[in-house]
Structure 1
Amino acid sequence: MMENESAIARGQSAVMVVTPHTGTLVPPDLLAHPAWEAVNGRLSDPGGKALGAVARKRGITCISAALHPCVIDLNVALNNTALSHRLNRLGLCRTHTSRGEALYLPGAEPSDADVQRRVEEHWKPFHASILAELSRLRETHDNVLMLVSHACAWLSPYRTQPGGADCNFSTNHGASCDRAIVSAMTHAAQALERSWVVNGKVADAFTAQRYGRRECGVHVIELEVAGRWRRELELAQSDARGDAESDALMVEILCAAERALDGVAAPGVPADLFRDFHDACLD
């Protein structure tokens, strides 16, 4: 197991940020395969990196992955369904990059045992941390929001990358989050002249499906930064400089979410929220 495979910053806000696709590290054993050299250090989700940085500055709970999502994707279900029938690009542990680059020599792809080992060492601890933080925050807030950044369009094969909208919000077709919270965040994006779409091409991503429990006071929105905003972030990070405009937008989105949560009615709560989540998400 690698040290610091995920970073947790704990805060008291009712908003929590999770960035499963911001990891850039590749374990030493995989670097024996030449194709992984180019992947090591490559950032898939610049929007998530910026969101996590702003959240930590504001004292908002943030959980960020350290491993590159091609090693194991922490925003994919454990059924490990193939992403493509033409190539063996598995969802959990990919055998190819989104560009079609083979990550393993023929015959050296990860076995079922290899995948299960990564699940036990990386996937389950990451999601156990999510469950623990959600439960902790829910004890002190009537409603909590988990805002999950991801880069699905840049990781999955044959998916058209969403080049039009800057902010792609997903709520499992409205089931994972109160509508007032979504509206507040889209209004914040629009006020800063950023384009947005709700439940577009990635409407039913894993985290929103599995953790969104509006009736329990747990709301989940997944955010993919794309279009002009992603390009600006890539340029800013390649120049090793900050992007004040994008930071301001992240602040406004987070503040809008906090204000909206205050106006959502308190729900009924199950007796053991942590156990309910654990049974649904980890077993």
Structure 2
Amino acid sequence: METFQLHRGTAPLLVSLPHNGSFIPVDITERMHPLAQVSPDSDWHVDLLYDFAIGLGASVIKPLASRYVVDLNRPADGHALYPGRTETGLVPTMMFDGAPIYRDGEAVGPDETAARVNQYWRPYHTALASEIARMRDVHERIVLWEGHSIRAVVPMLFEGRLPDLNLGTADGVSCDPSLQASLATQLEGQDRYTHVVNGRFKGGYITRAYGNPGQGVHAVQLELAQVNYMDEKTFAYDEIKAAGLKKILHPLLQACIGFAQAAAGASQ
């Protein structure tokens, strides 16, 4: 069974969309509360927001299944990414509004968790690691771009309204300082969207695990407030709003490619 889709490009940029999926197998859905069955906490439509990336030559990887099946941006051992703060786990048991995902008596046990990791988590990460290795064989350095989105207001996870654009580099550890500075400068150069660097969302497991500037892999996460491109209540994609956001995303990805390509120029 196919659990993810991978497009291999030629540019030194890999776009990963680990929460884009919304599919939930029937045997799992039947154990869920009705509101959870539609996977409301998916990173809705981020594949549409980044549909231009393939035209830039980027590789793109995205899952089919919902983060409710297993969260690809959490470590396989389930340890916390933000110790002391509320967060959802490897196999989430509650939605972002705090409501339970599963009906009483239908909790996911250790054996089922391990099975989901083997069926969904490992194939995605094997493909991700393999694509990074393939790209590094061709390019002196590459950029891994983690594309995410979330509702603008989620009291369980953060106070107030989330900034529109949330750039995360694991506090500068996951990429070269010059790349972070370049992207931050672009965000500061526009006045349409609010932004923050290494705020509430500093980068999840993938950014932290795969970002290795010393080995030529520079990872960046961008968490978007969904209100800027969709209806958060109906999950409907808003083409007009999305077009405005793409005008920001396009040059950000171009800057990543330019950063990576500069390494080849410097070594000649």
State the match for 1:179 in structure 2: 177
In the alignment, residue 206 of structure 1 is paired with which amino acid?
Answer: Y
- For the residue of structure 1 that corresponds to 2:239, the secondary structure is coil
| Distance in 2 between residues matched to 1:54 and 1:28, nearest whole Å | 33
1:189 corresponds to which of 187, 190, 200 = 187
| Distance in 2 between residues matched to 1:135 and 1:99, nearest whole Å | 38
- Check if 1:149 corresponds to 2:168: no
| Distance in 2 between residues matched to 1:266 and 1:212, nearest whole Å | 22
1:94-173 equivalences under 5 Å are 94-151=92-149, 158-160=156-158, 163-173=161-171
Richer in helix (by share): 1
In the alignment, residue 209 of structure 1 is paired with which amino acid?
Answer: R
1:1-283 equivalences under 5 Å are 3-36=1-34, 38-40=36-38, 42=40, 44-46=42-44, 48-81=46-79, 91-151=89-149, 158-160=156-158, 163-193=161-191, 194-203=193-202, 205-226=204-225, 230-235=226-231, 238=236, 241=239, 243-264=242-263
State the match for 1:271 in structure 2: none
Greater CA drift, 51-60 or 209-218: 51-60
TM-score (structure 1 length as normaliser): 0.81
| Distance in 1 between residues matched to 2:25 and 2:152, nearest whole Å | 21
Asked whether the equivalents of residues 170 and 208 of structure 2 are also in contact (C-alpha less than 8 Å), the reply is yes
| Distance in 1 between residues matched to 2:43 and 2:91, nearest whole Å | 17
Asked whether the equivalents of residues 12 and 61 of structure 1 are also in contact (C-alpha less than 8 Å), the reply is yes
In the alignment, residue 91 of structure 1 is paired with which amino acid?
Answer: G
- For the residue of structure 2 that corresponds to 1:77, the secondary structure is coil
For 1:170-189, what per-residue CA distance to the aligned partner results, in whole angstroms no more than 9, with x for missing partners?
A: 11111110111122222223
| Distance in 1 between residues matched to 2:78 and 2:37, nearest whole Å | 21
In the alignment, residue 224 of structure 1 is paired with which amino acid?
Answer: E
Instruction: Give the percent of matched residue pairs that are identical in Structure 1 and Structure 2.
Output: 23
| Distance in 1 between residues matched to 2:36 and 2:147, nearest whole Å | 23
Figure out how many residues of one structure are paired with residues of the other and give that number.
261
Q: 5+ unaligned residues in a row in structure 2: which ranges?
A: none
For 1:71-96, what per-residue CA distance to the aligned partner results, in whole angstroms no more than 9, with x for missing partners?
A: 110000112247999xx986111111
| Distance in 2 between residues matched to 1:17 and 1:161, nearest whole Å | 29
Asked whether the equivalents of residues 152 and 163 of structure 2 are also in contact (C-alpha less than 8 Å), the reply is no
In the alignment, residue 102 of structure 1 is paired with which amino acid?
Answer: P
- For the residue of structure 1 that corresponds to 2:133, the secondary structure is helix
Greater CA drift, 148-157 or 49-58: 148-157
| Distance in 2 between residues matched to 1:130 and 1:248, nearest whole Å | 27
Q: 5+ unaligned residues in a row in structure 1: which ranges?
A: 268-283
C-alpha distance 195-207 of structure 1, shift in aligned 2 (>3 A): same
| Distance in 2 between residues matched to 1:260 and 1:100, nearest whole Å | 40
- For the residue of structure 1 that corresponds to 2:220, the secondary structure is strand
